[in-house]
Chain A
Amino acid sequence: GENVEQHPSTLSVQEGDSAVIKCTYSDSASNYFPWYKQELGKRPQLIIDIRSNVGEKKDQRIAVTLNKTAKHFSLHITETQPEDSAVYFCAASSTTGNQFYFGTGTSLTVIP
């Protein structure tokens, strides 16, 4: 099955700086890549997603880029705020069924 690796596992940034989280995947046929945010003690929630026919997608301070050739995709958060502190998970779609494979998560801390 698909193997998704996510780096870094922890990330601390100063408020106002940018944060970048990177994921790689193994199955070249994967074509959908969502990102989920999970605040402490809460459920994961979708923040942005990208399909393989698009190289970049933006939503206010959040952007995702996809490099199909290299099989990696990244989450970019600009002008970080304390409320961005959370665990972020990337995922890649499986080509053998209706399921995702998730990365192991990145714990982002934004220091005021």
Chain B
Amino acid sequence: DAGITQSPRHKVTETGTPVTLRCHQTENHRYMYWYRQDPGHGLRLIHYSYGVKDTDKGEVSDGYSVSRSKTEDFLLTLESATSSQTSVYFCAISYSGIYNEQFFGPGTRLTVL
């Protein structure tokens, strides 16, 4: 597997609390992505980054923010978690955008009670 890790791997939190998920890579890839995976919906893009401090929205960005202050780290923040954000979150990296393979992290299972 590519050098990509996610933390935490599992988290249970309560509605209304802030949550930050971290994606860390050791591959020096330019692009990083956050997806959520839900039954019946496949993988849906939340936000992505095409460089340090360069980010853009995906198709399900409402309620989420991201930051990338250095190449290796991409943070996903739920400012005020809701039950609809219960999901498995995957980070992915790519050397130079969508025409290159995306390598996925191991995933974070988030439960919002």
Q: Which residues of A contact B (CB under 8 A)?
A: 1, 6, 32, 34, 43-46, 49, 51, 89, 91, 93-94, 97-105
Q: Is the CB of A102 within 8 A of B43?
A: yes
Please tell me if B63 contacts chain A, counting CB pairs below 8 Å.
Answer: no
Q: Is the CB of A99 within 8 A of B33?
A: yes
**Nearest chain A residue, comparing its CB with the CB of B45:** A99
Q: Is the CB of B59 within 8 A of A46?
A: no
**Nearest chain A residue, comparing its CB with the CB of B40:** A104
Alpha-carbon separation in the docked complex, A91 to B92 (Å): 14
Alpha-carbon separation in the docked complex, A55 to B69 (Å): 41
Q: Identify which of residues 71-113 in chain B touch chain A, using a CB-to-CB cut-off of 8 Å.
A: 90, 97-99, 101-102, 104-107
Q: Is the CB of A43 within 8 A of B1?
A: yes
Q: Is the CB of A46 within 8 A of B42?
A: no
Q: Which residues of B contact A (CB under 8 A)?
A: 1, 31, 33, 40-45, 48, 50, 56, 58-59, 90, 97-99, 101-102, 104-107
Smallest distance from the beta carbon of B63 to chain A beta carbons, Å?
18
Alpha-carbon separation in the docked complex, A91 to B43 (Å): 9
Alpha-carbon separation in the docked complex, A104 to B50 (Å): 25
**Nearest chain A residue, comparing its CB with the CB of B56:** A97
Residues of B within 8 A of A32 (CB): 98-99
Top 10 A-B residue pairs of the complex, sorted by shortest distance between their CB atoms: A43-B104, A102-B43, A102-B42, A104-B42, A98-B97, A46-B101, A105-B42, A93-B98, A44-B104, A98-B98
17 CB < 8 A contacts A-B: A1-B59, A6-B42, A43-B104, A44-B90, A45-B104, A46-B101, A89-B42, A97-B48, A98-B48, A98-B50, A98-B97, A99-B48, A99-B58, A99-B59, A100-B45, A100-B102, A101-B45
Smallest distance from the beta carbon of A78 to chain B beta carbons, Å?
23
Residue with the highest number of chain B CB atoms closer than 10 Å, among A1, A46, A97? A97
Alpha-carbon separation in the docked complex, A32 to B106 (Å): 25
Residues of B within 8 A of A43 (CB): 1, 90, 104-107
Residue with the highest number of chain A CB atoms closer than 10 Å, among B44, B56, B98? B98
